């Protein structure tokens, strides 16, 4: 299983001050140097974390692959076609949401999704559809021409350690098996953390996990001792 690191929340922190620190380029570089197989960023319609210039810079500086998360928006499709990332992951997007709240309804808008991803596929960009672990959505995804699905692990993650964990986990396992039998490659992500990620090993053939929040959160505390002691040293 490969690890894709989502660096959006480095940009969230940077944007809180409107400056250039912390640098997402440096963040991506550190992730790559420590085993990330790809870097994910979500260019949201409201540009709340990643900005246009970030993706134009990332595409030239990454040593691995850029996986661009995006909604079905024409202006973002245009940027994707300009920068030509290794892959895109199509997600639903609501302006008011704190993070991507549910999977893309591929079954309910099969023609629209198929048409939207066509120019991206024609340009040689790999396409992944971020869907809930649901049979109808998996079957619909297989009809679009996309090569990948990314299973939304948010509900599993929320239920981890509670009564519904097993049922939610089985939905992921069954969906992955079905998707693979239909010729799709399977990624997973959202809400995965240091406690719940181990069960992903129980799903055969998962290709990549895309993880952001828990990694950036942990990095604050693993990095804080050095950051404080260095500043203390400077002001002694």
Task: Give dist(CA 234, CA 236) in Å, integer.
Answer: 6
Of the candidates 69, 93, 150, 208, the residue annotated as catalytic is 69
User: Has 201 been annotated as catalytic?
Assistant: no
Residue 98 or 236 with smaller CB distance to ligand PXP: 98
Neighbours of 25 (CB within 10 A): 17
Residue 147 or 231 with smaller CB distance to ligand PXP: 147
User: Has 82 been annotated as catalytic?
Assistant: no
User: Has 9 been annotated as catalytic?
Assistant: no
- φ and ψ at 151, to 5 degrees? -80, 130
Contact 184, 149 (CB under 8 A): yes
Residue 218 beta carbon to ligand PXP: minimum distance, rounded to whole angstroms:
11
Chain centroid, CA 153 distance in Å: 11
Residue 91 or 179 with smaller CB distance to ligand PXP: 91
Residue 157 or 180 with smaller CB distance to ligand PXP: 157
Neighbours of 149 (CB within 10 A): 32
Residue with tokens 């309910």: 108
Of the candidates 9, 42, 49, 152, the residue annotated as catalytic is 42
Residues of this chain that bind ligand PXP (CB under 6 A): 6, 8, 42, 69, 89, 91, 99-100, 130, 150, 189-192, 210-214
Looking at the chain, how many residues does it have? 236
Q: How far is CA 170 from CA 69, 88, 134, in A?
A: 26, 26, 11
Residue 183 beta carbon to ligand PXP: minimum distance, rounded to whole angstroms:
21
Joined together, the tokens standing for residue 146 give: 């996309």
Of the candidates 9, 49, 152, 190, the residue annotated as catalytic is 190
Residue 193 beta carbon to ligand PXP: minimum distance, rounded to whole angstroms:
8
Residue 230 beta carbon to ligand PXP: minimum distance, rounded to whole angstroms:
28
Residues contacting 4, CB < 8 A, separation 6+: 36, 37, 38, 39, 40, 67, 187, 189, 208, 209, 210, 211
Active site residues: 42, 69, 190
């Amino acid at each position: 299983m490969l690890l894709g690191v989502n660096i959006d929340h480095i940009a969230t922190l940077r944007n809180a001050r409107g400056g250039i620190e912390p640098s997402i380029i440096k963040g991506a570089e550190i992730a790559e140097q420590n085993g990330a197989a790809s870097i994910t960023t979500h260019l949201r319609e409201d540009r709340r974390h990643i900005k246009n210039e970030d993706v134009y810079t990332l595409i030239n500086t990454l040593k691995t692959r850029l996986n661009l998360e995006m909604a079905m928006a024409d202006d973002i499709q245009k940027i994707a076609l300009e920068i030509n990332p290794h892959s895109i992951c199509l997600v639903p997007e609501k302006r008011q949401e704190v993070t991507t709240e549910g999977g893309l309804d591929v079954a309910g808008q099969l023609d629209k999704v198929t048409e939207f991803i066509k120019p991206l596929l024609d340009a040689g960009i790999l396409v992944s559809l971020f869907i809930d672990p649901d049979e109808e959505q998996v079957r619909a995804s297989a009809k679009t021409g996309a090569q990948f699905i990314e299973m939304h692990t948010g509900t599993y993650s929320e239920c981890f350690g509670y009564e519904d964990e097993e049922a939610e986990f089985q939905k992921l396992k069954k969906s992955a098996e079905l998707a693979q039998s239909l010729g799709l490659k399977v990624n997973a992500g959202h809400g995965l953390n240091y406690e719940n990620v181990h069960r992903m090993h129980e799903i055969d053939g998962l290709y990549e996990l895309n993880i952001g929040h828990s990694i950036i959160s942990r990095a604050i505390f693993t990095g804080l001792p050095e950051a404080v002691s260095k500043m203390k040293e400077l002001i002694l």
